[in-house]
Chain A
Amino acid sequence: MSDLAANPALERRASGRGLLIAGAALVAVAGALVPFWTTGAPFLLMLASQAVIAAILALSLDLLTGNTGLLSFGHAAWFGFGAYVAGLLAKLVTPEMLIVVPTTVIAACLVAAVTGAVLVRQIGKTFAILTLALSQIMFALVFVASDITGGEDGLQGVPVMTVLGQPVVQAQTWYWLLYGVLLAALAASLHIRRSPLGRAWLSIRENAERARFIGIDVNGLKLLAFVMSAGLGALAGALLALFNGAASPDLLSWFESGKILMFVVLGGVGTLVGPVLGGIVFTFAEHYVSSLTSAWLIYFGGLFILIVIVAPGGIFGVLGHAWRRMQGQGR
């Protein structure tokens, strides 16, 4: 403590850090209060729930792309995989969340471990194209097995989810459940970021060869990131299918993969918190802008280009910049 008092720069940083934590806690609490703000507006609460799922999904891609630099053009594969597996499990076996969701996540991790063992040996464009191919295969599988997946009509009639036997029907309960999963996933991701594993991932992103020189098993850790990313993506998909009571083949499309990538870029690649914001902002913006104009994709495309050129750090980068400026002025 005496060190802190003696060093004004450290003191300022420590107080800035305290402020940041307080601010983050405030935002987290505000997020938890959304159901109270949206009483009488059930649609808004539903949209907020969708946004939370999008945030989990965005976070799952950032676990891969942000941590290791591997760019996936087919992340929707895991989102759709999770939705269909969970939907089918709920329909055919049990709607109990504590069985359906873990089983789905484990299944996704297993498939990711097998496919990833081949994929993560590739770098750059090759990896990106192969992920796209993988998602297209999964997309095609929905139509091949249309008698169980429902084909083009999607998987319908997923029963109401239960938790410990209690059906979850209240929109508020659903929201809090999803929000809890998001906070837990984000906290875990941030914790890993600061751990030796997180540091090792970042060193791979920075320079895989140098990472090998200091003894890091680059392919092994890339595979771990790929599997964890797929598992969390499938978790988001499972929650979506149970929340909507349905799954559609669109969830596996290359368009969906592009959207997830936009969440991440919009929020700020590699920042974990940024993609969460990106997923939320995008979901609301998509809804409101698309209700104003059918040409909304054109605007979003333009916005995407603008972000990449003007603010490559995304929302998180812009906020961080503003924060540092404020701190600078406070001296």
Chain B
Amino acid sequence: MTGAITFENLHAFYGQSEILHGVNMQVEAGSVACLLGLNGMGKTTTLRAAMGLVDRTEGRILLDGKELGGPTFRRSQMGITLVPEDRKVFANLSVRENLEVARAMAPRDAAFDIAAAVEIFPRLGERMEQKAGTLSGGEQQMLVVARAMLVNPRYMMLDEPTEGLAPTYVEAIRQSIEVARGRGIGIILVEQSLPLALAVGDHFHIMENGQIVRSFTRAEALAEPAAIERLLTVS
């Protein structure tokens, strides 16, 4: 099944202040879009707006042609989920329970199950009965990504998933993104690490002051990464 998530002239507000000033972006199922930009440019707000976590929005977001709306859990049930930056696991539940609670939210015949999650993150398989709160930071990040994938979403948004992680964990996250894309999930990745973005991204969007100011295809980005790097440097 093909499809896309489309942001159409999205404005977002916290109270009186307008944070997003008309974001336009389309992310195809089975592709990875990297949202890049300096801090405070609206990357996280874009993701939060999609989950219904800002005070007010104008414009619209279409998910496979249907307008995304309603409370957060309903949006998740429509097929989109968010892995926020703070990687919060259900700390007092075991790793297994964390995974099971997410799997239970997916359709019964959904393809991605706990065995598949353990295949991507073998480390979680070794920690199944351990309380999730006792995992290391990198393991917790694996768990929240696995948890998001187990819902079997159509689209998955990752907010700086590798920040502060050791290289082995960064590699595990990269692999999980590849697997998710291979399974036809559309991914929006907010990432500070340009090397990781260049390794997995199909499209690159540069955000500035609540808008997307430049977009690159993978070929363009690989041809001149310096151009992107310049846009991401404080002048």
Are A206 and B77 in contact, CB atoms less than 8 angstroms apart? no
Q: How far is the CA of A210 from the CA of B53 in the complex (A)?
A: 12
Are A212 and B73 in contact, CB atoms less than 8 angstroms apart? yes
What residues of chain B lie closer than 8 Å to A212, measured between beta carbons? 51, 71-73, 76
B104 at the interface (CB under 8 A from A): yes
Q: How far is the CA of A206 from the CA of B88 in the complex (A)?
A: 9
Question: Which stretch (A35-43, A146-154, A194-202) binds chain B?
Answer: A194-202
Most chain B beta carbons < 10 A, residue from A211, A212, A218: A212
B91 at the interface (CB under 8 A from A): yes
Are A206 and B73 in contact, CB atoms less than 8 angstroms apart? no
Residues from 145 to 201 in A contacting B, C-beta threshold 8 Å: 196, 199-200
Most chain B beta carbons < 10 A, residue from A206, A210, A217: A210
Nearest CB on B from A77, distance (A): 28
Residues from 208 to 226 in A contacting B, C-beta threshold 8 Å: 209-218
Task: Classify the interface of chain A: helix, strand, loop or mixed.
Answer: helix
B169 at the interface (CB under 8 A from A): no
Are B76 and A214 in contact, CB atoms less than 8 angstroms apart? yes
Are A203 and B93 in contact, CB atoms less than 8 angstroms apart? yes
Are B148 and A213 in contact, CB atoms less than 8 angstroms apart? yes
B147 at the interface (CB under 8 A from A): yes
Are A206 and B76 in contact, CB atoms less than 8 angstroms apart? no
Are A214 and B93 in contact, CB atoms less than 8 angstroms apart? no
Nearest chain B residue, comparing its CB with the CB of A201? B101
Nearest chain A residue, comparing its CB with the CB of B82? A213
Are B97 and A214 in contact, CB atoms less than 8 angstroms apart? no
Given contacts A206-B90, A207-B90, contact A215 B101 (CB under 8 A): no
Partner of A196, one of B91, B101, B148: B101
Nearest chain A residue, comparing its CB with the CB of B147? A214
Q: How far is the CA of A199 from the CA of B126 in the complex (A)?
A: 21
Q: How far is the CA of A258 from the CA of B40 in the complex (A)?
A: 47
Q: How far is the CA of A211 from the CA of B151 in the complex (A)?
A: 11
What residues of chain B lie closer than 8 Å to A213, measured between beta carbons? 51, 72, 76, 81-84, 148
Nearest chain A residue, comparing its CB with the CB of B96? A199
What residues of chain A lie closer than 8 Å to B91, measured between beta carbons? 206
Are A200 and B101 in contact, CB atoms less than 8 angstroms apart? yes
Nearest CB on A from B230, distance (A): 35
Partner of A215, one of B76, B83, B98: B76
Are A210 and B90 in contact, CB atoms less than 8 angstroms apart? yes
Q: How big is the A interface, by class?
A: 10 to 19
Q: How big is the B interface, by class?
A: 20 to 34
Are B104 and A199 in contact, CB atoms less than 8 angstroms apart? yes
Are B93 and A202 in contact, CB atoms less than 8 angstroms apart? yes
Are B73 and A215 in contact, CB atoms less than 8 angstroms apart? yes
Nearest CB on A from B132, distance (A): 9
Most chain B beta carbons < 10 A, residue from A200, A205, A206: A206
Residues from 261 to 277 in A contacting B, C-beta threshold 8 Å: none
B134 at the interface (CB under 8 A from A): no
Q: How far is the CA of A218 from the CA of B76 in the complex (A)?
A: 12
What residues of chain A lie closer than 8 Å to B148, measured between beta carbons? 213-214
B199 at the interface (CB under 8 A from A): no
Residues from 282 to 331 in A contacting B, C-beta threshold 8 Å: none
Residues from 88 to 138 in B contacting A, C-beta threshold 8 Å: 88, 90-93, 97-98, 100-102, 104-105
Given contacts A206-B92, A207-B88, A207-B90, contact A215 B51 (CB under 8 A): no
Most chain A beta carbons < 10 A, residue from B76, B100, B101, B148: B101
Are A214 and B71 in contact, CB atoms less than 8 angstroms apart? no
Residues from 62 to 82 in B contacting A, C-beta threshold 8 Å: 71-74, 76-77, 81-82
Can you list 13 A-B contacts (CB < 8 A)? A199-B100, A199-B104, A203-B101, A205-B92, A206-B91, A212-B71, A212-B72, A213-B82, A213-B83, A213-B148, A214-B148, A215-B76, A215-B151
Please list the residues of chain A having a beta carbon within 8 angstroms of any beta carbon in chain B. 196, 199-200, 202-203, 205-207, 209-218
Closest 9 CB pairs of A and B: A215-B76, A196-B104, A206-B90, A212-B72, A199-B101, A215-B105, A215-B77, A212-B73, A203-B101
Q: Assuming A200-B101, A210-B90, what are 8 further A-B pairs, CB within 8 angstroms?
A: A199-B93, A200-B105, A202-B92, A202-B93, A202-B97, A206-B93, A213-B72, A213-B81
